[in-house]
């Protein structure tokens, strides 16, 4: 990892708060530039398969049904589904990259310990990790938007705002899951339970494939606390140009609150584990 303009390796002086975070991002970028192929399936191919299976395949059946227009607001199912899949892709990437890679940084490869042994603080390590994940989600999401456009799932320029909403939702999840992973000494069944009982149900029941109001009344509040539901609502409203200012403000505030909470917890837990 190099960064002569950001740090002072000859003197050992600590870089500024922003520069330290950017150095961590640079470290991840150098690694990713050589190993990006390992993430193609989870970041691009898997969302593409979701798009083909549900948007194109299942969507043809839905559009042929009599009640489809009421559920989607008189737009094609693919157009209605595409921004939600954008949010799902970001959230799933965030969850995966904040579990085993974080534990590996503490326990197996101990990369976080190596970085914090220099002038970069544990807080900068945590924030750099989260910023890198946001960049990863934005890059993969931009590719996914291009694929969606090829299949006719983009109805207007609002899809760009949908990408930002997806990255915000993914960042909120990444911060919370990173903080959780930082509490673990061994993976055990913790990550398996996280994906089985949180990530997968969140994907299925957060308004991704059908509106939340189609769920039983007692289940709907569980969907409302899901960051993916808030991200999906924002992304879909932007893509379909169905803005409701108060609703958009509420969704954004909720996601920002989760991001802030997760970020503060991650910084504290990284500091506790990495400081001598």
- pLDDT tens digits along 133-184: 999 999 999 988 988 888 888 888 999 999 999 999 999 999 999 999 999 9
Cβ contacts of residue 227 below 8 Å, gap of 6+?
A: 91, 169, 172, 173, 176, 202, 254, 255, 258
- pLDDT tens digits along 226-276: 999 999 999 999 999 998 999 999 999 999 999 999 999 999 999 999 987
Kindly state the DSSP code that residue 214 receives in the 8-state scheme.
G
Question: Is the separation of the CB atoms in 158 and 245 below 8 Å?
Answer: no
User: Across-strand partners of 13?
Assistant: 8
Distance CA 98, CA 89 (A): 14
pTM (two decimals): 0.89
How high is the pLDDT of residue 9? Answer: 47
Least confident of 38-47, 71-80, 132-141: 38-47
Confidence category of residue 67, pLDDT binned at 50, 70, 90:
low
How high is the pLDDT of residue 66? Answer: 56
Distance CA 182, CA 265 (A): 9
Question: Is the separation of the CB atoms in 207 and 229 below 8 Å?
Answer: yes
Question: Is the separation of the CB atoms in 267 and 127 below 8 Å?
Answer: yes
How high is the pLDDT of residue 10? Answer: 45
Instruction: Give the domain ranges of the chain.
Output: 17-27+40-274
Distance CA 154, CA 126 (A): 35
> If you average pLDDT over every residue of the chain, what do you get?
87
- pLDDT tens digits along 180-211: 999 999 888 999 999 999 999 999 999 988 88
Phi and psi torsions of 8, nearest 5°: -130, 75
Most confident of 57-61, 197-201, 215-219: 197-201
Q: Which two tokens stand for residue 95?
A: 């969850």
Distance of CA 257 to the CA centre of its chain: 15
Distance CA 230, CA 260 (A): 16
Q: Which two tokens stand for residue 84?
A: 């939600």
Phi and psi torsions of 170, nearest 5°: -65, -40
Q: List the alpha helices (DSSP H) in the chain.
A: 17-35, 40, 46-50, 59-63, 68-72, 77-97, 100-103, 111-116, 122-150, 159-181, 190-194, 200-204, 220-224, 227-239, 245-274
Torsion, Cα 21 22 28 30, to 10 degrees, reads: -150
Measured CA to CA in angstroms, residue 94 lies from 44, 97, 100, 147 at distances of: 13, 5, 11, 20
How high is the pLDDT of residue 5? Answer: 44
User: Across-strand partners of 8?
Assistant: 13
Apex 254 CA angle, 250 and 257, nearest 5: 135
How high is the pLDDT of residue 76? Answer: 83
């Amino acid at each position: 990892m190099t960064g002569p303009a950001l740090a002072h390796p000859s003197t050992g002086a600590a870089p500024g708060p922003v520069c330290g975070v950017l150095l961590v991002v640079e470290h991840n970028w150098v690694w990713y530039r050589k190993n990006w192929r390992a993430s193609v399936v989870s970041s691009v191919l898997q969302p593409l398969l979701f798009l083909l299976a549900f948007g194109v395949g299942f969507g043809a059946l839905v559009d042929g049904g009599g009640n489809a227009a009421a559920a989607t607001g008189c737009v094609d199912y693919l157009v209605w589904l595409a921004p939600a899949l954008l949010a799902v892709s970001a959230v799933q990437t965030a969850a995966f990259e904040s579990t085993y890679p974080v534990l590996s940084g503490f326990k197996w490869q101990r990369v976080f310990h190596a970085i914090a042994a220099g002038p970069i603080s544990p807080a900068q390590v945590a924030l750099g990790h989260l910023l890198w994940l946001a960049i990863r989600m934005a890059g993969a999401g931009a590719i996914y938007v291009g694929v969606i456009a090829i299949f006719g799932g983009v109805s207007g320029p609002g899809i760009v705002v949908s990408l930002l909403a997806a990255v915000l939702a993914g960042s909120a999840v990444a911060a919370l899951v990173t903080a959780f992973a930082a509490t673990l000494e061994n993976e055990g069944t913790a990550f398996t339970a996280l994906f089985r009982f949180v990530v997968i149900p969140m994907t299925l029941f957060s308004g991704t494939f059908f509106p939340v109001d189609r769920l039983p009344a007692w289940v709907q509040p569980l969907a409302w606390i899901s960051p993916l539901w808030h991200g999906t609502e924002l992304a879909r409203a932007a893509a379909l140009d169905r803005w409701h200012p108060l609703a958009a403000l509420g969704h954004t505030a909720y996601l920002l609150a989760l991001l802030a909470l997760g970020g503060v917890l991650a910084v504290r837990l990284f500091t506790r584990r990495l400081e001598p």
